[in-house]
Amino acid sequence: SDTTPRQRGIAIPQGISKQRFFEAIEELKKELGSENVELNDKELKEGWYMEHPNTHDMMPILDSEELVASALVYPGSTEEVVKIVRWANKFKVPIFPISMGRNLGYGGAAPRVRGSVTIDLGRRMNKILNIDPDDYTCLVEPGVSYYALYEELQKRGYQHMWIDTPDLGGGSVLGNAVDRGVGYTPYGDHWACHSGLEVVLPTGEVVRAGMGALPGNNTWQSFPYGFGPYSDGIFSQSNYGIVTKLGMTLMPNPGGYESFMYTFQNESDLAPLIEIIRPLRISNILENVAQLRHALQTVAIKGKPRSTYWTGEGVMPQEVYHKELKKMPVGDCEWVYYGMSYGPPHIRKYKLDIIHQEFTKIPGAKRIDPSTLPADEYFWSRDKIAAGIPDLEELLWVNWMPNGSHIAFSPVSPIRGKDAEALYALAKKRHTEAGIDLMPAFCVGLREMHLIVEIVFDSKNEKMRRAADKCLRDMIDDAAALGYGEYRTHLVLMDQVAGTYNWNDNALMRFNEKMKDALDPNGILAPGRCGIWPARYRGRGWEM
């Protein structure tokens, strides 16, 4: 079945009576039009990535009714967002903004506090407000997806500009940037590539950050800082405001591109390879946010369930996936590197020759000739993404499990062999204990790397959900004990992750809380997001 019956009834937020809540909803309907306010009182629909529910986390790691909204509201403009915020303050109802809610693996569309009213900004606020073909910038509303932006550039004949897309192109350009997501062109650090925000504060004032504060200014999307404190930062991974407009810089078409792929034979090649990658990446010979993936993912991305290959207890043994890899065009290996070189052929050749010389210092390293790869090989999906063309093939590994869901462990470290090894070892240890297949991918930025470990689990199997949850919590603690922290996390892990950033007696969290209380005195906006609880909730047992 594709719906989950409700056991617990409509999720009325704590601190308000059911009757008062329904009165409040009636008032909101009067303000916004009843067609733009919906109670979440029906069965929970499951859907899939492109038709995802906005009512809850469709990949629940807890009980599926834990992280659910009480109602949904669809503003059509910044003014309507202001109305919603004023309404929330009047009734002291928690609100939770999402752009499109495709934040799968980190909570999807779900609010952190059960019964929050979800503000689905993207449904109606989905305009590309500007694309500047001379400055290579754009200004978008929350509902603009990577697909929509890409298609609009093509439609207008702007082939001289590229966008940057993450692994899956259906998400919000704005939502991903404010959650500090990454993509795979040289413009892969989305937050670093933004310029200009418009934000509705929790008390209803509207601010424009950067140059947008100067009326009539034409530099909002070109110079990110403006004058005075750089306030943009506090609106990413926070609960201090609702972002209604975002400026992004666009990449110039490099005049040619070429993907490449190398395979490495041994688990122990990881550390020496990362040592080789670091100087090449910092000096931009390796130009994009490239991926070094474990070969088990190459098997998983074929989209067949794990049970096709192995039905035994515990993690899939090495010999099993090696046997599969031997049958595939990629061939047998333990690690796969996907990269892209940009520019005209002679420029690419210069860089690719250096890369080849360096990578083949690892015994057994092989360059896979792309011309030998069939059109449905995953390589070509990475090729599109590294060229800023949105794609969805990455969804396929979710089929690894029945009712396939995923949740990520995402620590960051410098690009060092010993850090890669330490993180890989702790992930492997905890996955083995939990009986979960380990599929790590190192995404290498300019001076750091994100290790992304997606745990694929069966969301209808409570034992497996518990095992996944424990595995994640253990990895977060193990990583913190060694001095590593996560760059982003799922809603249910936010308190734990925030708690690891505790230098000097939690000085940073105390600072965040002070700011929260000043900006949001009624504590209505996304309480608990990123571990930041407003005074009204703090110390009352909300943390998990």
Cα gap 490→500, rounded to integer Å: 15
By CB under 6 A, residue 527 contacts ligand ADP: no
From the list 516, 518, 522, 496, the residue with the least C-alpha distance to 13 is 522
Determine which one of 278, 348, 488, 529 is catalytic.
Answer: 488
Binding status of residue 249 toward ligand ADP by CB under 6 A: no
Is residue 488 annotated as a catalytic residue, yes or no? yes
465: left (phi over 0), alpha (psi -120 to 50) or beta: alpha
Instruction: Write the CA distances from 331 to 182, 324, 374, 396, 498, integer angstroms.
Output: 29, 9, 13, 20, 41
How near is the Cβ of 123 to ligand ADP at its closest, in Å? 11
Q: Whole-angstrom distance between the N-terminal and C-terminal Cα of the chain?
A: 30
Which one of 4, 99, 165, 288 is in contact with ligand ADP (CB under 6 A)? 99
C-alpha distances out from residue 424 to 47, 289, 294, 421, 478, Å: 33, 19, 10, 5, 11
CB of 240 to ligand ADP, least distance (A): 9
Report how far Cα 322 is from the mean position of its chain's Cα atoms.
30
Q: Which range binds ligand ADP by CB under 6 A, 176-184, 204-212, 216-224, 341-349?
A: 176-184
- Residue ranges of E strands in 277-382: 290-294, 335-342, 366-367
Q: Which of residues 123-162 bind ligand ADP (CB under 6 A)?
A: 142
Q: Does 100 bind ligand ADP (CB under 6 A)?
A: yes
Pick from 139, 163, 243, 434 the residue near ligand ADP by CB under 6 A: 243
Q: From the CB of residue 233, how many other CB atoms can be counted at a distance below 10 Å?
A: 11
Backbone angles phi, psi at 297, to 5 degrees: -65, -30
Query: Is 382 a residue of the active site?
Result: no
> Interface with ligand ADP includes 101 (CB under 6 A)?
yes
Given 74, 106, 187, 378, the catalytic residue: 106
* Interaction between residue 171 and ligand ADP (CB under 6 A): yes
**Given the residues 136, 187, 487, 537, the one annotated as active site:** 487
The reply on whether position 54 binds ligand ADP by CB under 6 A is no
Task: Retrieve residue 175's tokens.
Answer: 């939502």
Q: Judged by CB, which is closer to ligand ADP: 116, or 298?
A: 116
Q: Does 121 bind ligand ADP (CB under 6 A)?
A: yes
Beta-bridge partner residues of 140? 128, 246
Mark the segment that binds ligand ADP (CB under 6 A) among 66-74, 102-110, 297-305, 500-508.
102-110
Residue 106 is a catalytic residue? yes
| In the block, residue with structure tokens 């617990």 | 8
Instruction: CB nearer to ligand ADP: give 113 or 174.
Output: 174
Instruction: Output the residue with the shortest Cβ distance to ligand ADP.
Output: 175
Q: 142 vs 186, which CB is nearer to ligand ADP? A: 142
Q: Which is nearer to ligand ADP, 201 or 328 (CB)?
A: 201
**Bridge partner list, 233:** none
Answer for the pair 398, 470: CB distance below 8 angstroms, yes or no. no
In the complex with ligand ADP, the residue whose CB is nearer, 127 or 367, is 127
Binder of ligand ADP out of 60, 175, 226, 445 (CB under 6 A): 175
Using CB under 6 A, pick the residue from 64, 89, 176, 489 that binds ligand ADP.
Answer: 176
Among 89, 126, 172, 381, binds ligand ADP (CB under 6 A): 172
Closest CB to ligand ADP among residues 101, 254: 101
- Our finding on whether 387 is near ligand ADP (CB under 6 A) is no
Distance CA 423, CA 419 (A): 6
Candidate list 36, 55, 89, 103; residue touching ligand ADP; CB under 6 A: 103
Q: Which residues contact 73 (CB under 8 A, 6 or more apart)?
A: 28, 32, 36, 37, 38, 84, 117, 118, 119, 120
Q: Smaller CB distance to ligand ADP: residue 107 or 390?
A: 107
Q: Which stretch binds ligand ADP (CB under 6 A): 83-91, 173-181, 186-194, 368-376?
A: 173-181
Pairing of the two strands 117-120 and 95-98: parallel
Query: Toward ligand ADP, which CB reaches closer, 70 or 176?
Result: 176
Listing DSSP states for 373-431 in one string gives S-TTSTHHHHHHHHTT----GGGGGGGGSTTEEEEEE-EEEES-HHHHHHHHHHHHHHH
Instruction: Answer yes or no whether residue 196 interacts with ligand ADP by CB under 6 A.
Output: no
Bridge partners, 37 (sequence order): 73
Residues annotated catalytic, as ranges: 106, 487-488
Q: Which residues contact ligand ADP by CB under 6 A? A: 97-103, 107, 121, 142, 171-172, 174-176, 178-179, 242-243, 529
